[in-house]
């Protein structure tokens, strides 16, 4: 067999492909290519052998069949053993050492408005994935992600080869990208009768929810989401744990709902401070003064925030961190937190957040600074169950005070509307049943995870009073309708003056009359529109 190494290049993404090919030629490699890629390389005066010379003919069937040939795949699958080498020599088929190939943009074709069966079929690559799988099986250098071109070149320029581990890494990525490509096609053609998810491990966790749950990892699925967990940068502390990641995810759900509510109803998003413990919000505030916001957030439920995770949509300075760590703390003691996330955190502020054994995770994501009504997560939501999984749309409802089906026993002020947005966003992203109490831009009590609605009201009131909050004239949100008047009765006794709930109970008229008789303003949307169940 020939000693000159051969690279087969056939790419859709042609950015920088000339430099990659020229670098291989400078190393003594021969290039085989076809179609648009060959023309691109030839235009750059890079010597290219056309695939047609290898397979015995030009592309056929409107360029549908180019690389699907016995000769090409033999060049990719032949082994470095005498029997294969002898047979390849008799057939005059060269051994191909490297394949650089990416695929037609099928996902983009599927997501394109007005996509049809025909338009998706035209963008379904067959030759590329087939060639990549042959190269992977044959143990060749296979590059199907343009970001891998440079490091592969550096390895070849340094040692003229790749290690077995490098080959295995590229093989695994190739198989994964092909699997994702085929999965996208299957989901589209079956109209989600078939579904699945493929992810890449980006973080190993020390353990899962409990120490004996090993191993545990965070995986990222393909996304262009600037708020996805894989876009968060750890700048101080140990890697987040499994529970830390779930808390971060819940923080993002809640904060983006708050931002969406403000953006949609008022056209701008205020400064936001949010704290979560075990997946449910225990401190939250909005406003214009970051220092006051932090105080309000910490004082929402000061007992619960201990060891919690906090998130902000503004930069943290040393002064703000000092406020965060000292609010309501005895002299000489500081609030212990498991993690802090913000768009940016100054180096001096990071120093203040450090804990022994790096237990406070300090993370940043600049995208947190620009939240609005388009920041809600829109991907389908998947939950594993025994023997399979459940699938549903994501939580993208935004409370709309101008909704045509919204009823109210009286008008409310703009400040009360803003407080209801905070209460709604917290309540509809907390484990139901939930009732949430807010006053003057501050979360006072969050009664989550109760089996009855009245119990969620009682718990919210209990938590608020335990933190010494005055509930007089506060607003309340609850995530479904009241089946009886007992829930509103508890809220009325506590001093609540505005309630937002859904409607749909046979007891609605009784609930409405109770609220009117007790000078409570009741806002309602039908249960089918705004029910806020979450986290079951």
Confidence of residue 168 (pLDDT cuts 50, 70, 90): very high
Kindly report the number of other CB atoms within 10 A of residue 230's CB atom: 14
Cα(453)–Cα(469) distance, integer angstroms: 21
The stretch 332-356 carries a mean pLDDT of 95
Burial of 249 by CB count in 10 Å (0-12 exposed, 13-18 middle, 19+ buried)?
middle
13-27, 62-76, 109-123, 411-425: range with lowest mean pLDDT: 62-76
The stretch 320-324 carries a mean pLDDT of 97
Average pLDDT, the chain: 94
Confidence of residue 378 (pLDDT cuts 50, 70, 90): very high
Q: How many CA atoms lie within 13 A of 17 on its CB side?
A: 28
Give the tens place of pLDDT for each residue, 280-308: 999 999 999 999 999 999 999 999 999 99
Query: What stretches of 313-434 adopt beta strand conformation (E)?
Result: 339-342, 361-364, 381-385, 388-392, 407-408
Asked if residue 2 has pLDDT above 70, the reply is: no
* Maximal CA-CA distance, the chain: 97
Cα(213)–Cα(325) distance, integer angstroms: 32
Listing DSSP states for 172-226 in one string gives HHHHHHHHHHHHHHHHHHHTTSS-----EEEEEESSSSSTTS--EEEEE-S---T
Identical fold, 234-370 and 399-530: yes
pLDDT given for residue 56 in this prediction: 64
pLDDT given for residue 62 in this prediction: 65
Give the tens place of pLDDT for each residue, 421-431: 999 999 999 99
Cα(93)–Cα(71) distance, integer angstroms: 6
Asked if residue 103 has pLDDT above 90, the reply is: yes
Q: How far from the centroid of its chain's Cα atoms is residue 216's Cα?
A: 18
Give the tens place of pLDDT for each residue, 483-513: 999 999 999 999 999 999 999 999 999 999 9
Name the token pair of 263.
């953006």
Cα(284)–Cα(261) distance, integer angstroms: 15
The stretch 342-364 carries a mean pLDDT of 94
Cα(313)–Cα(319) distance, integer angstroms: 16
- Give the CATH H-level superfamily of domain 234-370: AICAR transformylase, duplication domain (3.40.140.20)
Cα(527)–Cα(530) distance, integer angstroms: 5
SS3 content of the chain, % helix, strand, coil (to 5): 40, 20, 40
Contact 128, 68 (CB under 8 A): no
Give how far Cα 322 sits from Cα of 111, 291, 326, 352, 496, Å: 47, 10, 6, 7, 33
Contact 46, 17 (CB under 8 A): no
% of the chain beyond a pLDDT of 90: 88
Claim: this prediction has a pTM higher than 0.85: yes
CATH top-level class of 6-190 = alpha beta
pLDDT given for residue 235 in this prediction: 96
Give the tens place of pLDDT for each residue, 11-68: 998 999 999 999 999 999 999 998 889 899 999 999 999 887 776 667 666 666 666 7
pLDDT given for residue 1 in this prediction: 43
The stretch 434-455 carries a mean pLDDT of 97
Burial of 98 by CB count in 10 Å (0-12 exposed, 13-18 middle, 19+ buried)?
buried
- 249 CB contacts (<8 Å, ≥6 apart)? 229
CATH number of 399-530: 3.40.140.20
DSSP H or E stretch at residue 32: strand 30-33
Name the token pair of 490.
């508890």
Q: Of 60 and 349, which is predicted with more confidence?
A: 349
- 459 CB contacts (<8 Å, ≥6 apart)? 435, 445, 447, 448, 450
Q: Of 57 and 353, which is predicted with more confidence?
A: 353
Confidence of residue 450 (pLDDT cuts 50, 70, 90): very high
% of the chain beyond a pLDDT of 70: 97
Asked if residue 150 has pLDDT above 80, the reply is: yes
Helix (H, G, I), strand (E, B) or coil at 372: coil
Contact 103, 144 (CB under 8 A): yes
Asked if residue 89 has pLDDT above 70, the reply is: yes
Contact 327, 316 (CB under 8 A): no
Contact 344, 315 (CB under 8 A): yes
Cα(219)–Cα(367) distance, integer angstroms: 20
- 375-384 contacts, C-beta under 8 A, 24 or more apart: 375/227, 375/256, 375/259, 375/260, 376/256, 376/257, 376/260, 377/225, 377/227, 377/252, 377/253, 377/256, 379/223, 379/225, 382/195, 382/197
Confidence of residue 482 (pLDDT cuts 50, 70, 90): very high
The stretch 457-469 carries a mean pLDDT of 97
Query: What stretches of 39-135 adopt beta strand conformation (E)?
Result: 49-50, 98-101
* Domain residue ranges in the chain: 6-190, 234-370, 399-530
């Amino acid at each position: 067999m020939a000693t000159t190494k051969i690279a087969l290049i056939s790419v859709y993404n042609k950015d920088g492909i000339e430099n990659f090919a020229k670098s291989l030629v400078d190393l003594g490699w021969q290039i085989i290519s076809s179609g648009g890629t060959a023309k691109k390389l030839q235009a750059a005066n890079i010597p290219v052998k056309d695939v047609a010379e290898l397979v015995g003919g030009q592309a056929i069937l409107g360029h549908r069949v180019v690389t699907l040939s016995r000769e090409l795949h033999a060049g990719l699958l032949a082994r470095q053993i005498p029997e294969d080498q002898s047979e390849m020599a008799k057939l005059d088929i060269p051994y191909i050492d490297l394949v650089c190939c990416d695929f037609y943009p099928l996902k983009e074709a599927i997501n394109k408005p007005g996509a049809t069966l025909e338009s998706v079929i035209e963008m379904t690559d067959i030759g590329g994935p087939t060639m990549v799988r042959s190269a992977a099986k044959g143990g060749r250098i296979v590059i199907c992600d343009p970001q891998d071109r440079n490091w592969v070149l550096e390895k070849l320029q340094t040692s003229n080869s790749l290690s077995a581990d490098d080959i295995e890494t590229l093989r695994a990525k190739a198989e994964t990208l092909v699997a994702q490509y085929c999965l996208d096609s299957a989901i589209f053609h079956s109209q989600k009768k078939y579904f699945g998810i493929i992810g890449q491990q980006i973080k190993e966790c020390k353990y899962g929810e409990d120490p004996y749950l090993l191993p545990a990892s965070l995986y990222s699925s393909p996304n262009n989401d600037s708020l996805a967990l894989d876009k968060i940068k750890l700048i101080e502390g140990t890697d987040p744990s499994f529970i830390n990641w779930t808390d971060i995810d819940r923080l993002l759900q809640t904060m983006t709902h708050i931002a969406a509510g403000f953006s949609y109803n008022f056209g701008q998003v205020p400064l936001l401070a949010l704290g979560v413990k075990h997946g449910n919000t225990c401190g939250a505030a909005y406003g214009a003064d970051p220092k006051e916001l932090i105080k309000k957030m910490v004082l929402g439920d000061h007992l619960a925030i201990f060891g919690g995770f906090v998130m902000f949509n503004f930069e943290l300075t040393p002064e703000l961190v000092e406020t965060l760590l000292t609010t309501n703390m005895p002299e000489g003691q500081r609030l212990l937190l498991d993690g802090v996330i913000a768009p940016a955190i100054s180096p001096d502020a990071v120093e203040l957040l450090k804990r022994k054994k790096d237990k406070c995770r300090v993370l940043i994501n600049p995208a947190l600074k620009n939240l609005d009504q388009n920041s809600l997560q829109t991907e389908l939501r998947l939950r594993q169950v025994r023997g399979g999984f459940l699938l549903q749309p994501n939580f993208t409802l935004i409370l709309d005070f101008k909704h045509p089906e919204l009823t109210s026993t009286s008008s409310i002020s703009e400040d009360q509307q803003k407080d209801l947005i905070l209460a709604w966003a917290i309540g509809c992203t907390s484990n139901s049943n939930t009732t949430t109490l807010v006053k003057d831009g501050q979360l006072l009590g969050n009664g989550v995870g109760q089996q009855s609605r009245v119990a969620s009201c009682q718990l919210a009131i209990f938590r608020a009073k335990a933190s010494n909050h005055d509930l007089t004239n506060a607003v309340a949100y609850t995530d479904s309708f009241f089946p009886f008047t007992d829930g509103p009765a508890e809220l009325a006794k506590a001093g609540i003056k505005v309630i937002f709930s859904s409607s749909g109970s046979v007891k609605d008229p009784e609930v409405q009359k109770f609220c009117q008789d007790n000078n409570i303003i009741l806002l309602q949307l039908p249960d089918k529109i705004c029910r806020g169940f979450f986290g079951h």
